[in-house]
Structure 1
Amino acid sequence: MADPSTGSGSTVLAAIEPEPSAIDEVLPEVGARPRPRRRVPLTLAVPGVLIALAALSPAAYLLLRAGFSFSLLRDELDGPTTWPLIRNTVALVVTVSVGSAILGIGAAVLIARTTLPLPRLWTVLLTLPLGVPTFVGSYAWVAFSYRYFPDTDLIFGLGGASAILTLTLFPYVFLPTLTALRRLDPAQEEAARSLGHGPVRAFVGVTLPQLRPAIATGVLIISLHMLAEYGAVAMLNYETLTTAIVQRANVLGMPESARALAVVLAVGALVLLAADRLLRGRRAPVRTGTGTPRPPMPWRLGVTTGFWLLLCAAVVVAALAVPLWVTASGLVDHITGAGGDIDWHQLGTALGNTAQWAVAAALVATVCALPVTLMAVRHPGTVSSAVERSTWIAHALPGVIMALSLVYISVHWLYPLYQTPTLLVAGYVVMFLPLAVGAQQVGVAQASVQLDEMSRALGRGPVTTFSRITLPLAAPAIGTGALLVGLDAGKELTTTLLMKPTGEHSLATALWATTDGEVLDFTAASPYGVALLLIGAVPAVLLARSTLRR
């Protein structure tokens, strides 16, 4: 599941199109003969298919586990609560996805295409919300509301959940859109303006269509995450399919009913993947700026500069300042003695576990993603596409289903792994593998296939070619994917709650345990909240800096 805290897919940067060759730039539509597809070598096909099967294992658990039947699924769909839950889930997916797209695209355009002061600072500040787990943001807003506005309930329900989750997740659209804008050659937009089009019309007609893949990837990550979100929506009293699944599996003792509803979520994920293909459309020829490094002519904000600065500041305050204020206030209470002593040993242990499990997940996911990436980029086709798309399914399933499936597999066939960090890391890898795959696709696609062919023509083998040509060129993107996996694994809550070794805690589960899912008093949880924000800020800042270098 995309963690209740986090977060989705091919990664934040996955949709940025690879740079075309010089011939593609000059003659994008002059009938140049397409490069023939090469057969997928077994050295890639075998591990790629095995990884795809592993990624599909939670979905297979839903259908093959004893006790499930399609008649049960039909009965669930006929139940009085199922369709309201589906409508609530769809409403949340749509509102958060649309809100994140508007906020992310708007912020990217402001920074990359206008005279907004301090663009580098705003890039970092608008990326930092990625380091705020969604359930921590929800905790903070609920605690803030209880403390300062006890008679209002505006933050609850669809409106509150949509606003808070949008503020946390919009960087998944902001980062790839900003990177794409900085890579595009401004000549096309300037040509449209020279023909009499205004800046907005030229941008919408020429530039925005070229940003469609970047926007689509961010929206897909967010929408799949919304299907699986639990911690934040439970805290904000908004019922979705995921909250119903967790309740039926953990509270009501109805695992078959929970699996039937999870099948509905899996079907929803397939619908979103199909919609993503439609949103991307046919790949249009895109010329990037490697040959013209000059920046585009910025739009002058003039007297409206102050308004846009205030708007950016308001977003940063809502997304970052409130969580920081609430957690810091609780920490001050601890330091001054009003909140009791901090259990430094438990805090340090939870911090160490979080870092260890997240780093392990990032490294394993990076290695597992490589054959999938190379199949998708170097050997496109039906099989490669099916393998790559398979990695997305688990990203939309609730963490409780992910945990139950892996526990079932470990108990029946891999018992030594039961309740071990190894099994937990495997769960992280299955959930967040698309983030690594998507990032790697960008880097491998930018490492031109002609370079590989020249190396092979000089007698170099495939391993040498990859290690000396492709890998160095793709290394920044591979690092980006690893950062994204580590960031989301460090924030994950639901699967960690169910699969962590007995007696062990991550920062997320320790925070949840201190509050027992309630926000009557955030003071006890504040040390873990502060630690989560600090540890999440490190990869978020690195991601922002990598965007600034592009």
Structure 2
Amino acid sequence: MAFSERNAELLWRTGVLAVTVTASCLVIGVACAWLITRSDIPFRRTLGVLFTLPLAVPSLVAGSAWLSVWPGIAGFGGVFLVLTLGSYPFVMLPVMAALRSGDIATEEAARSLGKGPVRTFFLVTVRGVRPAAAAGSLLTMLYVLGDFAAPSLMRYETFTIGIFASYRGAFDRTPAAIFGCVLVLVAAIIMIMERRARGKAARFGQIRVGKGVSSRPPVVPLGRAKWPAFIGSLGLLGGAIGFPVGIVIQWFISGSSRGFDMERIVETTANTLWFSAGGALLAVVMAFPIAVLAARHDSTLSRSLESVSYLGHALPAITIGLAFVFVGIRVVPGWYQQTPLLVLAYAVLFLPLAVVAVRAGIAAAPASLEEVSRSLGKNGIITHLRVTIPLAIPGVAAGVALVFLSAAKELPATLLLRPTGANTLTTEMWTLTNRMMFAASAPYALLLLLVSAIPALVMGLAVIERKKKREGKQKWQM
């Protein structure tokens, strides 16, 4: 009975956090996407890149920064603030894509009927991006559901904290397993909802009014609201990026006067590189046959295998880590808290990143070259080694980079599975910040920010580049 009450309490606390953060990210994400794609806000393209950068600030770093300056923020308010500021791009990015690819004719028709910009936005634009916003919101909810660092630092107990506490605090790991099953069930429901929303978004994006050619999105003048909107955007970016980065730099300056343990920093960085590289290479090897089937053989089997590969990334990392703990203890005891099991966990967790990247590389390569190879008597394995893989190298390299960068930032599964006595950048920073040793954690925080900023910056630049190409194509058509 006590456990049932405990389970219900954790479910309630986790649900309240997930719903409130998702609702806030929905409002912020849609507003930012509209400002970038449809308004005349100053420095639109620069803001378009900067608005994606909160993804580069791990919740571990952001939470530590806020907690060091404002200890009283610990609790629901702190974890809500950190996760909202770091998660709104999950909503913003798909909504931006929907606004740019959607049909403008419906909005033009609304204006021709006398509807003003505000009424057109709520009656037409919002309805048009609703499937994309729903998909982004559910992705945000999945992220909040599985986040471990922010609730841990802010002392706000959620399911992930309950699982970790049950695993570490009791000899009997059954409660941790039960907590994990409940969390998996909730995540599975959200994942199904997200998949349906994504499907609706894709179908909606194919519906057009008129000739089927999207015109250039109209720019809505903000008038007197232009500069308040710009200042508000700067305030959002200051809280999401400027504040944590500035605090980390302050920690580094303060810690430099006392000196850092360089030997430990080098050792921790080497461990991170070693574990992450192993996970990245294994993930790409596992992803290759799935990507080949998905790109070259469209069938129920290939689609099913691709969908199954996404499960590891959709489920909370701590449940995947807990599953590998049981595998290590009961199936392969020699691997428990050893490098092979941690590398395998990384590969399973981030397999979808590798599958998507490798599949894109294979799909971009002409299938006719593989057919020519087979016509010359080469079997499937030789053809893949000599033709498919060399042509797909850009996708393979992207997959390795994405998995490597994601594994370097991973915390809960690493805490459960890391080799005895070994630390990574995330585990070392988590340990130091839990002891309120913020200055000592500065080098690890800076390295994490550097690692995290690379994919976020590339993503933002890619969004801007696609916009330039689209605008150039539209000018050519005119």
Normalising by structure 1, we get a TM-score of 0.72
1:240 and 2:165 correspond: no
Identity of aligned residues (%): 33
Comparing 158-167 and 305-314, the one that deviates more: 158-167
Per the alignment, residue 9 of structure 1 pairs with none
Indicate if the aligned counterparts of 1:455 and 1:465 stay in contact, CA closer than 8 A.
no
2:435 alignment counterpart = 518
Structure 1 residue 546: Cα displacement: 1.7
1:295 match: 216
CA deviations on 1:238-259 (whole Å, 9 max, x unpaired) are: 1112211111110233310110
Structure 2: runs of 5+ lacking an equivalent: 467-478
Equivalent residue for 1:312?
233
337, 345, 354: which one aligns with 2:263: 345
Higher alpha-carbon deviation: 217-226 or 411-420: 411-420
CA distance in 1, matches of 2:386, 2:112: 46
Distance 1:186 1:315 in 2: 29
Distance 1:479 1:325, change over 3 A: same
Aligned partner of 1:301: which letter?
Answer: L
Aligned to 2:410: 492
C-alpha spacing 1:254/1:465, structure 2 compared with 1 (3 Å): closer
- In structure 2, how many angstroms separate the alpha carbons of the residues matched to 1:109 and 1:471? 41
State the 1:168 CA deviation.
Answer: 1.1
SS in 2 for 1:117: coil
Local SS of the residue matching 1:304: helix
Give the Cα–Cα distance (whole angstroms) in 2 for the partners of residues 121 and 334 of structure 1. Answer: 33
- Mapped partners of 2:142, 2:84: distance in 1: 14
Provide Cα deviations, 1:166-211, integer angstroms capped at 9, x if missing partner.
1112222223332443344545543554454444554555555554
Corresponding residue number in structure 1 for 2:464: 548
Q: Which residue does 2:54 correspond to in 1? A: 129
Over 3 Å counting, the alpha-carbon distance change for 1:93 and 1:138 in structure 2 is same
Report the equivalent of 1:361.
279
Count of matched residue pairs: 458
- Supply the distance in 2 between the matched residues of 1:446 and 1:119 (Cα, whole angstroms): 33
For the Cα contact (< 8 Å) 1:419–1:501, is it kept in 2?
yes
Q: Compared with structure 1, are the counterparts of its residues 467 and 113 closer, same or farther at alpha carbon in structure 2 (3 Å cutoff)?
A: farther
Structure 1 residue 395, shift from structure 2 partner: 3.8
2:189 corresponds to which letter in structure 1?
V
Q: Find the aligned partners of 2:192 and 2:88 in 1 and give their Cα distance.
A: 22
Tell me the equivalent position of 2:185.
Answer: 267
Which one scores higher on RCO, CA 8 angstroms, separation ≥ 6? 1
**Cα-Cα RMSD:** 3.8
Contact 2:312 2:320 in 1 (8 A): yes
Whole-angstrom CA distance in 2 between matches of 1:186 and 1:458:
44
- 5 Å-filtered alignment, 1:28-39, equals none
1:529 to 437, 442, 445: 445
Give secondary structure in 2 for the equivalent of 1:261.
helix
**8 A Cα contact 2:74 2:154, kept in partner:** yes
- Give the Cα–Cα distance (whole angstroms) in 2 for the partners of residues 481 and 203 of structure 1: 38
* Larger helix fraction of residues: 2
Match of 1:286 in 2: 206
| Distance in 2, Cα, partners of 1:95 & 1:389 | 29
Map of 1:329 onto structure 2: 250
How far apart in 1 are the matches of 2:464 and 2:392? 18
> Which secondary structure state, in structure 2, belongs to the residue aligned with residue 100 of structure 1?
helix
Aligned equivalents of 1:471, 1:116: Cα separation in 2: 44
When residues 325 and 271 of structure 1 are mapped into structure 2, their CA distance, relative to the original with a 3 A threshold, is same
Return 5+ residue gaps in structure 1 as ranges. Answer: 1-74, 147-152
Secondary structure of the residue aligned to 1:174 is helix
**Residue 95 in structure 1 maps to residue 20 in structure 2:** yes
The answer to whether the Cα contact below 8 Å between 2:39 and 2:219 also exists between their aligned partners in 1 is yes
